[in-house]
Amino acid sequence: MGADLSYVHPTANSPWGTYLSQVDRVVPYLGDLARWAETLKRPKRALIVDVPIEMDNGTIAHFEGFRVQHNMSRGPGKGGVRFHPDVTLEEVMALSAWMTVKTAAVNLPYGGAKGGIRVDPKKLSQKELEKITRRYTSEIGIIIGPHTDIPAPDVNTNAQIMAWMMDTYSMNIGGTATGVVTGKPLHLGGSLGRVKATGRGVFVTGREAARRLGLDLRGARIAVQGFGNVGSVAAELFVEAGAKIVSVQDHTGTIVNENGLDLKALIPLSRADGLVSFKGGDVIANEAFWDVACDILIPAALEGQITAERAKKTTAKLVLEGANGPTVPVADDILAERGVLVVPDVICNAGGVTVSYFEWVQDFSSFFWDEDEINVRLDRIMMNALNNIWDTADKHKITLRTATFAVACERILMARQERGLYP
Ligand code: NAD
């Protein structure tokens, strides 16, 4: 695997281990740039911060926070902030590295970064959530900024949290810096289309992949794991295109309905109480989700979900990676051997960062575009990137994942080479 960093101990299926193995697979396609490849295996900068807050009951609680800037050869760091009890430095490193690859794959002028706090936000009051967000922002304030590193929402973070981050950073510098985060509320410099952008990108790339596979979306059966921002929006767009959602899983459980779940009823309910309170489907065991007969599988929750065992049994012909890092390397090989096409995370879910880029550009110019313009530009960028990756995959007879890494890593390492090493 290389990169003998003393502060992480990746395993074959852990997020950083998965990422390292993806880099190893692309090296043979990098030509002379391969001499720079080690740079991809080391984060440029990793910050661990203590986030102390006074809880509503008067006690003082300490939380562990991270911000990792993996690579900034092509531009400022870009990547979300995750609030989750399982967040670790290693996970944030992998997520930041996938951002480097993703921004390069769609050719945005960014590097890759990511942040997180090890906390279960569902156990915090709104006041505590605001305090933890503000203190974390202030602690990482020494390395973020509109020209250096621009956070955004990820799992369990949203526009309100971005507003608090923007305000805290702005208070600390004595001005208003809307461009320091993206995914903000509309009236604070947010962009139309941002909330739905990632799900829309999953749909646009998935529709094109289905077309190339000869898979008709009308009547296609789709199973979705993770029914938050990404999963629910992608599901809605596929239903509009004639597909049916036959199974959905979230952190509360799994439901199934082979005739198709009624999303209009399901989505508001899942946001409030989670899926299992929904009456329009049968509750099944979580592991049975991977056996549900489907044509398309959309993992849109967390990393490491598609294991070897699950890859062997899925009936899907197409996997659309809405989540980051949902497939472990050995499962990737099994899916390829079984002829299951995987549209990898680093292109499939790049719609969010693409509209984040539009938001950042609009903030700097203080001129805002309408939603049609956003969507037309988004669709164009996603389709161009996907077609380019598909040509690379065909040329070298490699998977779409390795092809995406090949296109992206060439851009990253070319920038590295042209900039040269300082001093
Ligand atoms: P979210 O918080 O809106 O939703 C997460 C969903 O996953 C929820 O439905 C939750 O119930 C479910 N979930 C959590 N733990 C689970 C478990 N153990 N089993 C099954 N389901 C579980 O988050 P999101 O923004 O939709 O992000 C989902 C994934 O997409 C993450 O991997 C994230 O990194 C990735 N992603 C998000 C964006 C974005 O713009 N939001 C962009 C790119 C990639």
251 C-beta closer than 6 A to ligand 1: yes
Nearest partner of 354 among 234, 231, 182, 157, judged by Cα: 182
CA 154 – ligand 1 centroid, Å: 7
Fold agreement (42-176, 195-339): yes
HEC states along 104-166? HHCCCCCCEEEEEEECCHHHCCHHHHHHHHHHHHHHHCCCCECCCEEEEECCCCCHHHHHHHH
State the average pLDDT over residues 153-182.
Answer: 97
* Domain residue spans of the chain: 42-176, 195-339
Residues 306-325: tens digit of each pLDDT: 999 999 999 999 999 999 99
The structure tokens 């996970």 sit at: 91
Q: Which of 81, 98, 154, 232 to mutate to test the pocket of ligand 1 (most atoms within 8 A of CB)?
A: 154
Instruction: Give yes or no for residue 226 CB within 6 A of ligand 1.
Output: yes
Average pLDDT, the chain: 96
What residues are labeled active site?
Answer: 114
CA distance 106 to 389: 10
- Mean pLDDT computed over 136-160: 97
Q: 99 C-alpha to center of ligand 1: Å?
A: 16
Q: Cβ(153) to ligand 1 under 6 A?
A: yes
C-beta of 96 in contact with ligand 1 (< 6 A): no
423 has pLDDT over 90: yes
Q: What is the pLDDT of residues 333-370, one digit of tens each?
A: 999 999 999 999 999 999 999 999 999 999 999 999 99
**What kind of fold does domain 42-176 have according to CATH?**
Rossmann fold (3.40.50)
Q: Is 324 in the pocket of ligand 1 (CB under 6 A)?
A: yes
Best CA proximity match to 224, nearest among 202, 204, 246: 246
Strands (E), 230-306: 244-250, 253-256, 282-284, 296-299
CA of 196 to the centre of ligand 1 (A): 13
| Cβ 305 under 6 angstroms from ligand 1 | no
Q: How far apart are CA 153 and CA 158, in angstroms?
A: 5
Residue 53 near residue 127 (C-beta atoms within 8 A): no
Residue nearest to atom 21 of ligand 1 (CA): 250
Average pLDDT over residues 298-312: 97
pTM of the model: 0.96
Please give the average per-residue pLDDT across 102-106, as a whole number: 98
Look at residue 2 and tell me whether its pLDDT is greater than 70.
no
Which numbered atom of ligand 1 lies nearest the CA of 226? Answer: 7
- Ligand 1 pocket member 191 (CB < 6 A): no
Tell me the per-residue pLDDT of 258-277, one tens digit each, with 9 for 90 and over.
999 999 999 998 888 888 88
The amino acid sitting at 282 is: D
Percent of the chain with pLDDT over 90: 96
What does the pLDDT read at residue 180?
98
Residue 410 makes CB contacts below 8 A (sequence gap 6+) with: 30, 33
* Residue 270 pLDDT: 86
236 in Cβ contact with 229 (< 8 Å): no
Cα 324 to ligand 1 centroid, rounded to whole Å: 9
Paired tokens of 269: 């309910």
Whether the CB-CB separation of 201 and 351 falls below 8 Å is answered with yes
Which fold would CATH assign to domain 195-339? Answer: Rossmann fold (3.40.50)
Write the single-letter amino acid at 19.
Y
